[in-house]
Structure 1
């Protein structure tokens, strides 16, 4: 991986400042992350601001994640949040399932009791393209928050009312100024959290191939019906996939195909935050 990954438009810096100012208006926060990379898609820069009120972590796109890795993450991090909830923002049952989880949470139940008849207000944050706007639209019952398959669509804070005695303060997808660990930037790029035009797709694809070959060794061969390449040679794998797809030597086009296949779940349930047997569970 030779590319230094970073993307921090001016509206993100402005929003981070505004979040601190708005916390006095909300009762709690929802931080939405991609369940395939629940640590990598948390924004470390905003936790100091939002943790003055209860924070619920929402593992979105749960249907695309490796259930074993999700279990390990939840077990090790459950005490860091008021609750860790799971959703699939594309399922029609999202509203009912999410509200069931939320209402049975003792921290939330206490807030409802203290608030009496008034609606609770929640700040909703997340890195770009984790499905935040789709999630909000499901709970609002209509398309209020703008959605797209590219990051950076929402650029302002604005209030959204739902029919469930919940008001949401929606925020733009937020990254942070510098990835101390470039692997985190790579994962966010693969998940679509950074504009594709700013990235080298072959770098991302080679990292993804190497990662999948190590942790899910049968997936690449099964998906693309290839077998004659060394497991430890992602370049050979990319060449074989490109040939098998009939793309001659268009490695960039093949790389984009591989990345999009992963994003859409065509490889099956795969997590990019992968925890070994020595990962400590509380």
Structure 2
């Protein structure tokens, strides 16, 4: 367990309550709900309120950003979801990898019964309508743009950009309703909060950046030491603590200030930026909970 301490992270953006109401109000317009989650943190990037908010509608999870995650871990996640009877696919919305599997699973599994009923009634031409939901910065807009082949949904690498609902067509068969990103009112599990902070789902201005970087370095030193060595020429061990690791990182990158001290703030910002850009390597921050508990 890490000895590095971080203050409790809370999140109270004003537009979130409005989004929750909008989801409930528009639920009757759609046939299914697609929740975009981050392949690096498939549990932490799920909104625990979403199941209740979308009750009664079939759901499909899309593990986005799979090219930034550890592929072997992502494969285990897909198996984990399916073992629990939950439809899930992985894809990378920026490159389009995994696109075909999304449509196939949506039509042949998630909405199979509905589509068969429509065909029997002579309604096969009725478009399938799906609601796209997810927390900020998991790639909802990138998903919609990639699937529709357009740039209708605004894309920006920071949380809270999509603020209004919009319908986007996916060919002649599917219409997607894009909802703004929504988190939940508070974090009871600070581990979840930290993982969301690592990936940029929470704005950095409510965090202590250096402490966050120390926690990330501790995780990487324990689970992906070879990547730290390859990227930063750092020789680490699982026993090294955050302050020591951050100081070592700063020295390796020559981030020194007067007196030869390390500019740890600059080193922390660099580390988080490079992690979020996928420059350190393909890293997963969670493994399936059955394995965690085992």
What's the TM-score, normalizing by structure 1?
0.91
Superposition pairs of residues 128-207 of structure 1, within 5 angstroms: 128-207=136-215
Residue 54 of structure 1 pairs with residue 53 of structure 2? no
Once the two structures are TM-superposed, the CA of residue 84 in structure 1 deviates from its matched residue by 0.4
Q: Check 1:230–1:19 CA distance in 2 against 1; reply closer, same or farther (3 A cut).
A: closer
Q: Which of these two proteins has the greater Rg computed from alpha carbons?
A: 2
Superposition pairs of residues 76-91 of structure 1, within 5 angstroms: 76-78=80-82, 80=84, 82-91=86-95
What's the TM-score, normalizing by structure 2?
0.88
Please tell me whether the aligned partners of residues 82 and 107 of structure 1 are also in contact (alpha carbons under 8 angstroms): no
Please tell me whether the aligned partners of residues 33 and 54 of structure 2 are also in contact (alpha carbons under 8 angstroms): yes
Q: Check 1:18–1:233 CA distance in 2 against 1; reply closer, same or farther (3 A cut).
A: same
Q: Which runs of 5+ in 2 are unaligned?
A: 119-123, 257-261
Please tell me whether the aligned partners of residues 55 and 81 of structure 1 are also in contact (alpha carbons under 8 angstroms): no
Once the two structures are TM-superposed, the CA of residue 93 in structure 1 deviates from its matched residue by 4.9
Superposition pairs of residues 1-282 of structure 1, within 5 angstroms: 1-78=5-82, 80=84, 82-93=86-97, 95-103=99-107, 105-115=108-118, 116-227=124-235, 231-248=239-256, 249-275=262-288, 278-279=291-292
Q: Check 1:273–1:19 CA distance in 2 against 1; reply closer, same or farther (3 A cut).
A: same
Q: Which runs of 5+ in 1 are unaligned?
A: none
For 2:69 and 2:174, locate their aligned partners in 1 and report how far apart those are by CA, in whole Å. 28
Please tell me whether the aligned partners of residues 85 and 102 of structure 1 are also in contact (alpha carbons under 8 angstroms): no
Please tell me whether the aligned partners of residues 127 and 173 of structure 2 are also in contact (alpha carbons under 8 angstroms): yes
Once the two structures are TM-superposed, the CA of residue 233 in structure 1 deviates from its matched residue by 2.0
Q: Check 1:130–1:233 CA distance in 2 against 1; reply closer, same or farther (3 A cut).
A: same
Deviations along 1:152-201, one digit per CA (max 9) or x if unpaired, are 11112222222141111111111111111111111111111011222221
Please tell me whether the aligned partners of residues 41 and 188 of structure 1 are also in contact (alpha carbons under 8 angstroms): yes
For 1:54 and 1:230, locate their aligned partners in 2 and report how far apart those are by CA, in whole Å. 42
Once the two structures are TM-superposed, the CA of residue 113 in structure 1 deviates from its matched residue by 2.7
Please tell me whether the aligned partners of residues 225 and 237 of structure 2 are also in contact (alpha carbons under 8 angstroms): no
For 2:86 and 2:244, locate their aligned partners in 1 and report how far apart those are by CA, in whole Å. 46
For 1:72 and 1:28, locate their aligned partners in 2 and report how far apart those are by CA, in whole Å. 25
Once the two structures are TM-superposed, the CA of residue 136 in structure 1 deviates from its matched residue by 0.3
Q: Calculate the aligned-residue CA RMSD, in Å.
A: 2.2
For 1:54 and 1:112, locate their aligned partners in 2 and report how far apart those are by CA, in whole Å. 13
122-131 or 263-272, larger mean C-alpha shift: 263-272
Q: Check 1:276–1:223 CA distance in 2 against 1; reply closer, same or farther (3 A cut).
A: farther
Residue 158 of structure 2 aligns to a residue whose secondary structure is coil
Please tell me whether the aligned partners of residues 32 and 57 of structure 1 are also in contact (alpha carbons under 8 angstroms): yes
Please tell me whether the aligned partners of residues 60 and 131 of structure 1 are also in contact (alpha carbons under 8 angstroms): yes
Please tell me whether the aligned partners of residues 61 and 87 of structure 1 are also in contact (alpha carbons under 8 angstroms): yes
